[in-house]
Amino acid sequence: MTNDLENRAIAILKANDRGGYTVPTAGLYPYQWNWDSAFAALGFATFDRDRAWREIETLFDGQWEDGMVPHIIFRKNDPGYFPGPDIWGSRTEPPTSGHSQPPVVASVARWLVETGGREDERRAHEMFPKLMAWHEWWHCYRDPDETGLVGIVHPWESGRDNCPDWDIGMNNIVVPDDLGTYHRRDTDWVDPSERPTQETYDRYLTIVKFGRECGWDHDIVVREGPFFMADPCVQFVLMRADRDLMALAERFDDARARGRIADWVARDEAGAQAMWSDEACGFVATDLRTGSKSPAITNASMLAFYGGAGTEEQRAEMVRHAREILDGCRYVFPSWDPRHEGFEQRRYWRGPVWSVMNWMMAAGFERHGLADLAMRVRRDTLAMVRQSGFFEYFDPLTGEGLGGPNFTWTAAIHLALVSEHGAAEVA
């Protein structure tokens, strides 16, 4: 069975290949997505190192002059997806969306270098200036006051589009009368009960409208836009990626880059502390407009271990949360605390399990000596695939596959887990 699953995962990556980049899944997501491509590279690396690098390199075809790597690259206009390039109005070539996604690429690049050879090092060295520019963009344009805490201007920028984390910010958005009518395409492909509500989508598009009308001026979007929140996922991914970028800078003996990255790393930890909630006893999303904090623990909260955030006492609280949540779920790790109001086991990011979050979470647990938690997360990740196939996300109570089928990053993470830890070890 294991070999068959690995072959199926490889077949999915190849089927979703569009010539140097992958789509997350046919139909539902017909373009190149930012952090999807980073995780896809992990899967390709298990059988085709050159293809792994090309997946990342093509992502940077869409990098803006200011350093941002956008969350979608529209390489062709596909009427099966909404909102497409005309709605974003980025005026870039190739056309892209107007904001970014969690910056995991530096971490993947370091992994490729440390598990590869001279060609991997050469390609990482060539990419290094582009990575530096992207990280500079995050620290400049999403943390303009240099607090160490970066913000996001749209739930889509988090990659965790529909998590209840965003409700406290989204509920303050006033949908304008001139938003216009539109036809969502996601619910043409997936049961609406598994997707964001129409009210939520109106607010998503209100944010996009604001960005388009100000020409995607990042200063204006951050200072005056309808949404600006701190996200544990982005913060902790950036913390880890900054350290991984430092490792690459040291490898390439780039003193100037080391100095700049050291400044970022020094601020990262202080910034993360601003997300700590005494009420939730954990790191949670924070509205940077109002100071309000999300009330519950998520899978992103658990990335504190991946990013290396928190005091010993804070991490102990997070471990307590983790064990209690693991005890209450058949499969882990849910995207919203099942003990808390608002948990929806089937709806997009409001309860389901995601393989990519589990991969990062398990790495963080292991790094902090929590081997049993890491093993549980990895085993459940593979078990859901064995039961249901390579779906976009999974029901944490039943393991049922939800969202898009034949999903690139689910297949990629399966291959990475088996390659890194062996099928028997995590079976």
Active-site residue flag, 392:
yes
Helix, strand or coil for residue 152? strand
Q: Catalytic: which of 161, 202, 217, 400?
A: 161
Residue pointed to by tokens 């964001």: 196
What confidence score (pLDDT) does residue 263 get? 97
- Class of residue 177 by CB neighbours under 10 A (exposed 0-12, middle 13-18, buried 19+): exposed
Could you tell me which residues come within 8 angstroms of residue 373 by beta carbon, excluding any fewer than 6 positions away? 319, 322, 323, 326, 362, 365
Give me the residues paired with residue 17 across strands.
22
Instruction: Count other Cβ atoms within 10 Å, centred on residue 259.
Output: 10
CATH architecture of 2-421: Alpha/alpha barrel (1.50)
Pairing of β 393-394 and β 401-402: antiparallel
| DSSP assignment string, 226-288 | S--EE-HHHHHHHHHHHHHHHHHHHHTT-HHHHHHHHHHHHHHHHHHHTTEETTTTEE--EET
What residue segments make up the domains of the chain, in order of their start? Answer: 2-421
Per-residue pLDDT of the chain (427 residues; tens, 9 = 90+): 458 999 999 999 999 999 999 999 998 899 999 999 999 999 999 999 999 999 999 999 999 999 999 999 999 888 889 999 999 999 999 999 999 999 999 999 999 999 999 999 999 999 999 999 999 999 999 999 999 999 999 999 999 999 999 999 999 999 999 998 999 888 888 898 889 999 999 999 999 999 999 999 999 999 999 999 999 999 999 999 999 999 999 999 999 999 999 999 999 999 999 999 999 999 999 999 999 999 999 999 999 999 999 999 999 999 999 999 999 999 999 999 999 999 999 999 999 999 999 999 999 999 999 999 999 999 999 999 999 999 999 999 999 999 999 999 999 999 999 998 875 455 5
Give the tokens for residue 111.
């992994």
Angstrom distance (rounded) from CA 257 to CA 246: 8
Yes or no: say if 300 and 163 are a contact pair by the CB < 8 Å rule: yes
From the candidates 165, 231, 337, 392, give the one annotated as an active-site residue: 392
400 catalytic residue (yes or no): no
Closest to 306 measured CA to CA, from 377, 358, 361, 267: 361
Give, rounded to a whole angstrom, the gap between the first and last alpha carbons of the chain: 11
* Residue carrying the six token digits 């909404």: 82
Other CB atoms within 10 A of residue 17 CB: 17
